[in-house]
Amino acid sequence: MFTPKPEHKFTFGLWTVGNIGRDPFGSPVRQALSPVELVHLLNEVGAYGVNFHDNDLVPIDATPAERDQIVRDFKKALDETGLVVPMATTNLFADPAFKDGAFTSNDSRVRAYALQKTMNAIDLGVELGAKVYVFWGGREGVETDAGKDPVESLKRFREALNFLCEYVRDQGYDLTFALEAKPNEPRGDIYLPTTGAMLGFIATLDHSEMVGVNPEVAHEHMAGLNFTHAVAQAWDAGKLFHIDLNDQAPGRYDQDLRFGSSNLKSAFFLVKFMEDVGYEGMRHFDAHAYRTEDYEGVKDFARGCMRTYLILKQKAAEWNADKDIQALVAEINADLGANDLLGSYSTDRASAIKGAQLDRTVLGERGLAYEKLDQLTIELLMGVR
Ligand code: GLT
Ligand code: MN
Ligand code: MN
């Protein structure tokens, strides 16, 4: 019943199931698998697609001949399994060259290298079928504001994205960009730290129509924000091009936990939102298995992400069909007599609202029954309804 199918559009990055469990305090706990092996692992657990950074697939120091062989082998694995590559991205954070940022570096040579690397990575992504290109600027920030001018940094970031949009158009690629925000880690502070900030920035781009967002659960939770609200704002703006699903306890380091494993209720409202509005993009799990796991545990992790999503989707359908819940929802949304008063501005409407009898004591006395509604939601989630 909760078996992943292609129509669910569940995808994983090579770096997610391929995470070898290195952390700032400890060495790897799992042997690295090749991209081909990872494609087969993802096929075994039932994923639809696989995403990658340029260097997840092609090592940064590979020769052109090595690159071509790797791409041939990878394509063969995709053909054998039927997995697709819906999204690709660039690693602009691991190499020491990017220690003070890529597009926002003070060093124009680093900025030029970042453009060069990204154009090559876009070519690679498109060659393998990617339709969405993610930009996560992990190093685009500071430890000290003495080092970089924040306005200059934004101008540089804008200039880079404008350039790359033109590159995509010039090549005739069918590709959109999705910007991913994160408040901190690995930098002390990363520019454009939230999805809302990204949405504001996108409006300033030359080709804003081809640029949307890739919100990540963990990143908004790190900032103490409500992820569903960020996703809703992106959706409302027509900018929800991609999504990174995982989980995260607020106030911690970047945990990238299995989807739904930490904040089940917010995961429920997120899935319900995505399913109710009819989001048709990829459901990308940007998470990794606990460091305690071997590759059987990695498969448990990947299966768990997808299974939890599907269970929550089922719960959302139950919530929408639950008579008691829907009776309360109807009550909450009933017209209590002022619907006709409201609407877009006119001089008449302004006078009507000014003259309306609106007794604020009565308005303030009304109970809203949200306690009851929330408890019904909790009981539905706990499986006792
Ligand atoms: C990195 C980061 C993620 C980004 C990836 C894309 S890489 O693991 O933590 O949130 O989505 O660059
Ligand atoms: Mn993350
Ligand atoms: Mn992410």
Q: Could you read off the pLDDT tens digit of each residue along the chain, which spans 385 residues? A: 899 999 999 999 999 999 999 999 999 999 999 999 999 999 999 999 999 999 999 999 999 999 999 999 999 999 999 999 999 999 999 999 999 999 999 999 999 999 999 999 999 999 999 999 999 999 999 999 999 999 999 999 999 999 999 999 999 999 999 999 999 999 999 999 999 999 999 999 999 999 999 999 999 999 999 999 999 999 999 999 999 999 999 889 999 999 999 999 999 999 999 999 999 999 999 999 999 999 999 999 999 999 999 999 999 999 999 999 999 999 999 999 899 999 999 999 999 999 999 999 999 999 999 999 999 999 999 999 9
User: Omega before 96 cis (within 30°)?
Assistant: no
Annotated catalytic, 40? no
Contacts of residue 6, defined as CB under 8 A and 6 or more positions apart, other chains included, come to 48, 82
- 118: closest CA among 80, 71, 44, 175? 175
pLDDT of residue 251: 85
What is the DSSP secondary structure assignment for residue 240, as one 8-state letter? B
* C-alpha 244 to ligand 3 mean position (Å): 5
User: In three state form, how does the secondary structure of 326-365 look?
Assistant: HHHHHHHHCCCCCHHHCCCCCHHHHHHHHHCCCCHHHHHH
Dig out the tokens for 335 from the structure. Answer: 């017209």
Which residues, including other chains, have CB under 8 Å from residue 27's CB and lie 6 or more apart? none
> Distance from the CA of 369 to the center of ligand 3, in angstroms?
37
Decide which of 3.40.50.11540, 3.20.20.150, 3.30.70.20, 3.40.50.1820 is the CATH code for 6-320. Answer: 3.20.20.150
Which of 16, 57, 179, 180 should be mutated for ligand 1, with most atoms under 8 A from CB?
Answer: 180
197-233 b/e (C-beta count within 10 Å ≥ 16 → b):
ebbebbeebebeebbbbbbbbbbbbbbebebbebbbb
Residues 6+ apart with CB under 8 A from 150: 191
CB 122 within 8 A of CB 79: no
Query: Which residue lies with its CA nearest to atom 7 of ligand 1?
Result: 136
Domain ranges of the chain: 6-320, 323-381
Q: What are phi and psi of 157, to 5 degrees?
A: -65, -40
Cα–Cα–Cα angle for 8, 10, 13, nearest 5°?
Answer: 165
| 219 in catalytic set | no
Given the residues 8, 23, 54, 56, the one annotated as active site: 56
Two structure tokens written together for 299: 């498969």
